[in-house]
């Protein structure tokens, strides 16, 4: 029996989150730099917290990924490096079925606020399910943008959703 | 789909991992026969091995104890437990 047979796909949508700037913070000063910038500080490794439009994930003992709204200053830290992630956002009831075709993780377990690093369509990605709005953010190296955007757009179209952009790029 | 049940990050597809092989402590101050045995020979007997695995999406290295007979991961090893002192090599004049 198909567990997703009754899912309504018509409201599935894909957008680009180019309103966020990514940074990698590493080293013993990373946590204090985040705190000084007023950013959230996740306690557990491989977890994330969001506040004020910013998303911070802890990816190691003293390593963090921070995604800040455009225009916000980067945390003041010698070991803070800008990243060039492309971030897609999937919304709608059919997101689990969409992701089931691209990633082997069981997304039925993924709750709002959960952080995951996994392979999506063969590309190493980070995934975060927003607390509000329930969008699934998918971040990856921008070098894979052409490939992954094409894959996502095709699947969203096949599943009956629509593509959109957010951030004023077009 | 084959899964690797990592004690740290949970069950993940084996395709997300790179296998780096068994952890073996090299002999120090050994004769050539001992070194040749270390370099070229393996026991290849089923049992629990300590192996290095690399999970690409998280960029994490793991040392797992895996039963190669049952393909069951039985434990996560602290890297300090497999650390060894590198021998002092003298460069021939």
Q: Would you report the helix, strand and coil content of chain A in percent, each value rounded to 5?
A: 20, 35, 45
pLDDT per residue of chain B (93 residues) written in tens, 0 to 9: 899 999 999 999 999 999 999 999 888 788 999 999 999 999 889 999 999 999 999 999 999 999 999 999 999 999 999 988 776 667 777
Q: Which two structure tokens, joined as six digits, stand for B13? A: 């597809």
| Cβ–Cβ gap B15/A124 under 8 Å | no
* pLDDT category of residue A162 using cuts at 50, 70 and 90: low
Specify the CATH class of B3-82 in words: alpha beta
Q: Using CA atoms, how far apart are residues A152 and A129, in angstroms rounded to an integer?
A: 17
The CA distance from B21 to the nearest CA of chain A, in Å, is 22
CA distance A119 to chain B (A): 6
ipTM: 0.81
Dump pLDDT digits (tens) for A98-154: 999 999 999 999 999 999 999 999 999 999 999 987 899 999 999 999 999 999 999
Domain residues of chain B, as ranges? Answer: 3-82
At A2-35, the pLDDT tens digits run: 334 445 566 889 999 999 999 999 999 999 999 9
**Neighboring chain A residues of B12 at a CB cutoff of 8 Å:** 105, 118
* CB atoms inside a 10 Å sphere around CB B58: 22
Contact check, Cβ <8 Å, B57/A104: no
- From B71's Cα to the closest Cα of chain A, the distance in A is 20
Contact between A61 and A45 (Cβ < 8 Å): yes
* B57:A46 CB<8 A: no
Helix (H) or strand (E) holding A33: helix A30-36
A142 three-state secondary structure? helix
Nearest-CA neighbor of A94 among A155, A140, A145, A150? A155
């Amino acid at each position: 029996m198909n567990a997703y047979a009754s899912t309504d796909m018509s409201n599935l949508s894909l957008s680009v989150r180019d309103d966020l700037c990514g940074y990698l913070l590493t080293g013993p000063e990373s946590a204090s730099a985040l705190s000084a910038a007023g950013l959230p500080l996740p306690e557990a490794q491989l977890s994330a917290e969001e506040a004020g439009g910013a998303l911070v994930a802890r990816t190691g003992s003293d390593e963090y990924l921070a995604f800040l709204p455009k225009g916000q200053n980067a945390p003041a830290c010698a070991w803070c490096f800008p990243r060039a992630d492309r971030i897609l956002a999937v919304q709608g009831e059919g997101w689990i079925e969409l992701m089931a075709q691209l990633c082997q993780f069981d997304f039925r377990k993924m709750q709002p606020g959960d952080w995951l690093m996994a392979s999506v369509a063969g590309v190493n990605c980070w995934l975060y399910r927003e607390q509000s709005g329930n969008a699934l953010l998918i971040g990856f190296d921008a070098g894979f943008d052409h490939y992954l955007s094409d894959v996502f757009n095709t699947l969203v179209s096949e599943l009956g959703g629509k593509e959109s952009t957010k951030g004023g790029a077009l | 789909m084959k899964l690797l049940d990592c004690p740290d990050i949970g069950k993940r597809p084996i395709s997300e991992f790179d296998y780096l092989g068994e952890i073996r402590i090299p002999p120090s101050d050994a004769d050539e026969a001992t070194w040749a045995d270390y370099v070229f020979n393996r026991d290849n007997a089923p049992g629990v091995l300590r192996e290095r695995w690399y999970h690409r999406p998280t960029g994490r290295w793991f040392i797992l104890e895996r039963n190669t007979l049952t393909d069951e991961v039985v434990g996560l090893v602290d890297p300090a437990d497999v650390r060894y002192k590198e021998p002092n090599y003298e460069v021939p004049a």
